[in-house]
Amino acid sequence: MPKIEVNEELFYTLVGTRFPNSQALEEALSCAKAEIAEDSDETVPADERIIKLELNDTNRPDLWSTAGCARQLGLYHAGRTYSYPFFSRAGALYPAEKIVQVKVSVKQVRPYLAGFIATGQAITDSSLRDMIQTQEKLAGNFGRKRRTVSMGLYRTELIQWPIIYKAVDPDTVSFVPLQGDKPLTLREILRQHPKGREYAFIQEHEPLHPLLTDAHGAVLSYPPIINSADLGAVQVGDTDLFVELTGTDLPSVTLSASIMACALADQGFTIEPVIIDYEYETDFGSQVRTPYYFQEPVFCSLARVEQFLGKKLSGAECVAALEKMGCKARAIRATEQGAVQEEEGVWMEPPEYRNDFLHAADVAEDIMIGHGLKAFPPVRPGDFTIGRLSPLTLFSRTIKELLIGLGYQEMIYNYLGSYKDFVERMRGGADTIIRIANPMTENYEYVRNSVLASLLISESVSGHAAYPHKIFELGKVAYRDSTENYGTATRQCVGFLHTDRDANFNTVAGQLQTLFYYLSCEYTACESNDPRFIPGRSAVIQCAGKKIGIFGELHPEVLENFGITVPATAAEIDLDTLLLIKA
C-alpha cells in the first residue's frame, strides 16, 4: 500500500484543526482509509517533524499527498469546504493565455498531455518535498512506473511559449539531463543516465521518442524519463511553476493533473489553466483546457443504499454523508431504465480530484464512511459452514507442482488489460474478447481471453536476465461463447512460456508430454492454424475428443510486437475441461 511522509506543521495547517495525540489522529484517519505507519519524533523541531502515513485504498490517488490527505480530514472533521474554480468542463472551452501544442508525431508514442501553471507564492523546502513525493507516488503507483502517467515540474520564467510536444529520432536530439553535466542524446540517456536505465523499458523499443520543448527549441524534458538540467531544475524559492503530465491513458493523465492542481491550490498557489492544442482528436476533443473536469455523475437509490449497508438512511442523511467525503449530492426521485415506479435516491457528482465512482456500490461506500462507521453496529453471521478446497483447486495445485518440478517459475497477473496487449499484439482474438462496460482506464478495459498475453508482457521486460526463461501462470480467462447462458465462458487455465535461443516445437512437446504423463492422461496433437503461432509448428491438444488447449512456437510477429528478441514456445490448457474428462 502507498506510504507517504507529511510535514506535521503543514499537515495540521491544511487540515484546519490539530488532533491532541497520535491515537486521536489514528482514529481521524479512518475516513481516509489511512493509518499511522510511524509517528513524528518529539525531539525534532516542530516545523521539521515528519509523520509517516500508510494509505490503504489504492483507488484514491488523491490521498497520496500531504494536501490530499489533509483535505479529506478537513472535510470530515473540520467541516471545511473546498472550491476549485479553475476547472473547465465538457462542452465549453474557457480562455487561457498559455498553449501547449501536441504534434501528430507523438500520437502513436505517448499521445496525451495535461498541464497548468502554479503561481502566487515561493516554494518552500517542505512544499517542494511534498511535490516531489506526490510526483513519485502518482507516476510510480497510479502511473504504473511512469508507463501510463509521468509528471514534470518546470520553471515558468525560463520558458518561451507556446510549448511543443512532439516525437523525435532518439539519436538526433541531445540535451543536458537533470543531475547531468554534459549533453546526451535520448538514446544515450537510456543507456548512461540512472533514470534512463531505470525507465528504458518504456521507450527503448520505439522508433520515435517523445520530447517537450519551448518555442525556441529549448528542451524541457524527455518524457517520461528525465527533465532538462535548466528549465526542469525546480528549486526552493521559485514562484512560478509549469506542471505537465504525459501518458498513454487520457483519463489517468487528466485526473493526475487535477489531483496535483487541487493539492497546490490547497497550499495557497494560484492555478492558471493552459490550453492543450492537439493536431488530432481525443476523447475530450482536439482542444482541452486543463485542469479539466470529465467525471460523470452517479445515481444510487435509497433502496440500494439499504441493501449495501444494511441500514435505512434518508436522502438528507445520504447527502450529508457524501458532502463530508467531498462530493456534491442532492436527494432526488429518478426513474431507472426499465423501472415502472420512481425511486428515491441521491444524485452524486464526484469531486474534481476523484474518478473512482464506477458503480452505485461506490456511492454507498462513501455514504457509509461519511455517515460514520460506528453508526453501523456489528452483526454476527447467522450461518455456519465448513470450508473446503474444490476439486479444481486441488487439481490446479497438482499442475502447479508439476510445472515447478519442470523448472518453471510461477507468475500472477491481473485479469484485466488493454486491447493492444490482448488482441493487437497477439494477432487476433477480437471476436472473443470481452470489454467491460465501465473501465477506469484503457489499460484495464478488457478481460483477458488467454494467459499467454500476460506471460509475454513479463517476458518483454526480462531481456536483461540470463536465459532460459521459463514462467507459467494458473488463473482465469473469459471469452465470448454463444453456447453459454450469458454469452460468455470463464475457465481456469494454465499457460507456460519458454524462451531461449534453441527453444523449438520439440522442446514444448516434450515438456507437455511429461506433464500429461504425471497426470496419467492421454492426449493427441492435431493440426492448428492459430495466428499466434508459426504455421506448421503448433498443434491443438485434444483429450477424449475434446479440444483442451494449444502449444507450439510463437509467431515472430507476436514476439516482435512484445519486443522479444529470442525464440519462444508456449502452451495453454483448459483445466476445467481436462478435470471433467479425468473425472
Q: How many CB atoms lie within 10 A of CB 114?
A: 30
The stretch 467-486 carries a mean pLDDT of 92
Q: What is the model's pLDDT at position 339?
A: 46
Which three three-digit cell numbers place residue 469?
526463461
Q: Does residue 380 form part of some domain?
A: no
What is the spatial distance between Cα 39 and Cα 50, in angstroms, rounded to a whole number? Answer: 8
Q: Look at 118-132, 332-346, 452-466 and tell me which has the smallest mean pLDDT.
A: 332-346
| Mean pLDDT, residues 566-582 | 94
Same domain for 100 and 49? no
Sole residue written with cell 433502496: 303
> Is residue 69 domain-shared with residue 92, that is, in the same domain?
no
Indicate the Cα dihedral angle 391, 397, 401, 403, nearest 10°: 90
82 inside domain = no
pLDDT at position 380 is 83
- Asked whether the beta carbons of 243 and 151 are under 8 A apart, the reply is yes
Gyration radius of the chain's alpha carbons: 27
* 337: pLDDT strictly greater than 50: no
Q: Is position 381 within any domain?
A: no
> Domain span at residue 72?
3-77
Instruction: Identify the residue whose cell numbers are 531461449.
Output: 500
Q: What pLDDT shows up at residue 510?
A: 94
Say which CATH number the domain at 248 has.
Answer: 3.50.40.10
Same domain, 284 and 302: no
Instruction: Identify the CATH number of the domain in which residue 59 sits.
Output: 3.30.56.10
In a domain, 132, yes or no: yes
Distance of CA 305 to CAs 75, 342, 343, 451, 548, Å?
Answer: 22, 16, 12, 37, 44
- Establish whether the linkage from the previous residue to 535 is cis, with ω within 30° of 0: no
Share of the chain above pLDDT 90, in %: 73
The pLDDT value recorded for residue 90 is 80
Q: Is residue 573 part of a domain?
A: yes
Query: Backbone dihedral region of 35: left (phi > 0), alpha (psi from -120 to 50 degrees) or beta?
Result: beta
- Asked whether residue 104 falls in the same domain as residue 16, the answer is no
Average model confidence (pLDDT) across the chain: 91
Domain presence at residue 382: no
| Same domain for 414 and 505 | yes
Would you say the pTM of this structure is higher than 0.85?
no
Residue 383 belongs to a domain: no
**Statement to judge: residues 59 and 132 lie in one domain:** no
Neighbours of 552 (CB within 10 A): 24
Contact (Cβ atoms closer than 8 angstroms) between residue 552 and residue 532: no
Rounded Cα distance between 550 and 49, Å, is: 59
Q: Which residue has the higher pLDDT, 423 or 230?
A: 423
Judged against a pLDDT cut of 50, whether residue 209 lies above it is answered with: yes
In 3D, which of 103, 131, 99 has the Cα closest to residue 116? 99
Contact (Cβ atoms closer than 8 angstroms) between residue 166 and residue 106: yes
Q: Looking at residue 92, what is its pLDDT?
A: 65
Residues 328 and 429 in one domain: no
Residue 504 lies in a domain: yes
Alpha-carbon span 300 to 35, nearest angstrom: 29
Last residue of a domain, one of 24, 56, 77: 77
Of residues 128 and 517, which shows the higher confidence score? Answer: 517
Same domain, 139 and 227: yes
Question: CA–CA distance from 97 to each of 27, 161, 275, 428 (Å)?
Answer: 45, 10, 8, 46
CA 19 to CA 78: how far, in whole Å? 11
* DSSP code per residue over 239-274: --EEEEEEES-HHHHHHHHHHHHHHHHHTTPEEEEE
pLDDT value at residue 342: 61
Q: Which of 276, 293, 310 is the last residue of a domain?
A: 293
- Give the bridge partners for 88, in sequence order: 292
* pLDDT score, position 334: 61
Antiparallel, parallel or unpaired: β 488-499 and 446-447: unpaired
Lowest mean pLDDT among 42-51, 213-222, 457-466: 42-51
If one counts the domains in the chain, the total is 4
φ, ψ at 67 (rounded to 5°): -65, -40
Q: Which of 77, 96, 126 is the last residue of a domain?
A: 77
CATH of the domain at 359: 3.30.56
- In this prediction, residues 479-489 reach a mean pLDDT of 89
| pLDDT above 50 for 377 | yes
pLDDT digit string (tens) for 58-82? Answer: 889 999 999 999 999 999 998 899 9
- Give the pLDDT of residue 94: 66
Residues 57 and 115 in one domain: no
pLDDT digits (tens, 9 = 90+) for 25-71: 999 999 999 999 888 777 777 778 889 999 988 889 999 999 999 99
Q: What is the pLDDT of residues 260-302, one digit of tens each?
A: 999 999 999 999 999 999 999 999 999 999 999 999 999 999 9
Question: Around Cβ 549, how many Cβ atoms within 10 Å?
Answer: 21
Q: In terms of domains, do 286 and 304 share one?
A: no
Q: Are residues 220 and 271 in the same domain?
A: yes
Give me 314's grid cell.
Answer: 434518508
Domain of residue 489, CATH code: 3.30.930.10
pLDDT at 180 over 90: no
Cell matching residue 286? 482536439
For residues 551 and 570, the answer to whether their CB atoms sit within 8 Å is yes
- pLDDT on residue 66: 92
pLDDT beyond 90 at 148: yes
Q: What percent of the chain has pLDDT over 70?
A: 98
* Residue whose C-alpha cell is 528549486: 235
Which residue has 495547517 as its cell numbers? 13
pLDDT tens, position by position, 159-174: 999 999 999 999 999 9
Read off the pLDDT of residues 535-544 as tens digits, 9 standing for 90 and up.
Answer: 999 999 999 9
- What mean pLDDT is predicted for residues 88-107? 85
Q: How far apart are alpha carbons 225 and 376 in whole angstroms?
A: 48
**Does residue 338 share a domain with residue 242?**
no
- pLDDT reading at 177 higher than 80: yes
Q: Which of 387, 384, 577 is nearest to 494 (CA)?
A: 577
Residue 155 corresponds to which cell in the numbers above? 520553471
Q: Is the dihedral of CA 200, 203, 206, 209 positive or negative?
A: negative
Q: Are the beta carbons of 86 and 272 closer than 8 angstroms?
A: yes
Higher pLDDT, 576 or 129: 576
